[in-house]
């Protein structure tokens, strides 16, 4: 039976079967009995491959066909697993370590079009008014439908100072509209900070290699500017932060913790558990901390918010976060290609899975603006093929533990008259001022 099965495969089919199953060819006969149906399906895949090569209306590149098959396989798993060819691999490296020419926008693919997860602060996309939840249907008047996410992203990247036109479909607007943007060199400046009176404000836009050191520098500098004894507290703004590197999320949370677990990740097998703990030394010296989040705070942002919330180190305010609680591992395939594969879910110190559900704020604070109040928010649970929550440890009720503040009586119009353009930030500042007057320990316990 084993011999007959492999004899039925052509040399190219035999090789492809071995590659797709991830085993050595010499080991395949011993596994064949249990994988007979799988090999029959692979045989069908090769039938399609060879028929396309022979009869498709235009000559097709074999590499393009095989890469398409791989991408289709990974797209069937979840929205975050993908194959990185040489171009994608270099793009990912520059986005986490250096700089690149583009628009500064985090996107996903949904129903054949590009959907915006979040624009990055101070980039062409954010300045042009691109919003979370927008659909990009055309790039330079050419339809996106039919392109892979990788191809669409490649079209949006380009040399600095070059122009691009995006056609946007936005819920609540009757017609699509065009935005003309000029690409820039997107330099990674993920951390900004300033003293607002006696309050230290730290904005974290994404989690790349400079993020952890940037937060530590921010804390040190702010203490010098304000005076260590005069600091009322800190605001860590993670709104519209799409995430990034796990180690940088751990480093940021660690900066505010004296001890304790930051996050754990749990894989397919029970023994696949990794735990990450804070090192001694709270750089904020125990001062009150408020973390600002919204529906576009994702992944690494949720790790930080969940850790400081569970450790009772910070009050999390704003809106429920995005809900991306999965871990992607980069598996090199060749020198310049790799597989980005979802290998685990991560959990907060209290054992909560963030996947689908997100982090519920301690105090729900709406933005109360005319635009943001009417715009629907996309989250992980809205993405096709998203992972289910899968949490049995520390399961949460479907009901939110957060409680809207009864003092929300302001309107967008009344805020404008007061000169308040960011209600959530204004609320966080006033909350810290109250904590400073009334005692942080009582408020945070």
Angle at alpha carbon of residue 301, lines to 300 and 307, rounded to 5°: 90
Catalytic residue among 118, 299, 326, 402: 299
Sign (positive or negative) of CA dihedral 133, 215, 360, 430: negative
Q: Residue 122 burial (CB < 10 Å; 0-12/13-18/19+)? A: middle
Catalytic residue among 88, 118, 324, 362: 324
Give CA–CA dist 210/253, Å, rounded.
15
Give CA–CA dist 182/194, Å, rounded.
29
Give CA–CA dist 103/83, Å, rounded.
22
Choose among 104, 159, 164: nearest CA to 130.
Answer: 104
Choose among 135, 185, 95: nearest CA to 375.
Answer: 135
**Six-digit token string for 312:** 């009772």
Catalytic residue among 310, 326, 362, 372: 310
Rg of the chain on CA atoms, in Å: 24
Give CA–CA dist 69/72, Å, rounded.
5
**Catalytic status, residue 272:** no
**Catalytic status, residue 299:** yes
3-class DSSP string for 272-303: CEEEEECCCCCCCCCCCEEEEECCCCCCHHHH
**Catalytic status, residue 324:** yes
246-254 and 300-310 helices cross at what angle (nearest 10)? 30
Q: Which residues are catalytic?
A: 299, 310, 324
């Amino acid at each position: 039976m084993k011999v007959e099965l492999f004899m039925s495969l052509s040399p190219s089919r035999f090789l492809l079967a071995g590659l797709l199953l991830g085993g050595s060819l010499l080991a395949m006969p011993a596994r064949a009995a249990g994988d007979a149906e799988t090999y029959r399906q692979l045989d069908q895949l090769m039938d399609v491959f060879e028929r396309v090569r022979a009869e498709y209306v235009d000559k097709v590149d074999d590499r393009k066909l095989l890469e398409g098959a791989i991408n289709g396989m990974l797209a069937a798993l979840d929205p975050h697993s993908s194959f990185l060819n040489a171009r994608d691999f270099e793009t990912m490296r520059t986005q986490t370590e250096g700089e690149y020419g583009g628009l500064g926008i985090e996107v996903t693919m949904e129903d054949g079009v590009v959907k915006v997860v979040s624009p990055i602060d101070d980039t062409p996309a954010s300045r042009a008014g691109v919003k979370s939840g927008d659909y990009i249907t055309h790039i330079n008047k050419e339809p996106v439908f039919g392109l892979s996410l990788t191809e669409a992203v490649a079209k949006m990247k380009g040399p600095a100072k070059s122009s691009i036109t995006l056609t946007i479909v936005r819920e609540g607007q009757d017609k699509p509209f065009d935005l003309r943007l000029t690409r820039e060199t997107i330099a990674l400046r993920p951390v900004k900070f300033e003293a607002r009176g006696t309050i230290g404000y730290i904005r974290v836009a994404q989690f790349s290699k400079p993020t952890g050191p940037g937060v530590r520098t921010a804390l040190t500098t702010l203490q010098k500017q304000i005076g260590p004894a005069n600091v009322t507290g800190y605001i860590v703004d993670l709104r519209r932060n799409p995430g990034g590197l796990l180690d940088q999320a751990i480093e940021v949370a660690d900066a505010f913790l004296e001890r304790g677990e930051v996050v754990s990740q749990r894989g397919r097998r029970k023994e696949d558990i990794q735990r990450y703990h804070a090192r001694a030394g709270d750089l904020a010296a125990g001062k009150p901390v408020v973390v600002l989040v919204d529906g576009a705070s994702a992944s690494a942002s949720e790790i930080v918010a969940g850790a400081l919330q569970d450790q009772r180190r910070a009050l999390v305010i704003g809106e429920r976060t995005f809900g991306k609680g999965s871990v992607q591992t980069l598996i090199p395939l060749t020198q310049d290609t790799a597989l980005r594969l979802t290998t685990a879910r991560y959990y907060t110190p209290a054992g909560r899975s963030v996947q689908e559900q997100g982090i519920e704020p301690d105090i729900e604070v709406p933005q109360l603006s005319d635009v943001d109040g009417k715009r629907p928010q996309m989250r992980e649970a809205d993405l096709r093929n998203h992972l289910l929550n899968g949490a049995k440890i520390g399961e949460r009720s479907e009901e939110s533990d957060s409680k809207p503040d009864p003092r929300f009586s302001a309107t967008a119009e009344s805020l404008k008259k007061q000169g308040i353009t960011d209600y959530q930030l204004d609320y966080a500042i006033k909350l810290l001022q109250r904590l400073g007057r009334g005692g942080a320990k009582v408020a945070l316990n």
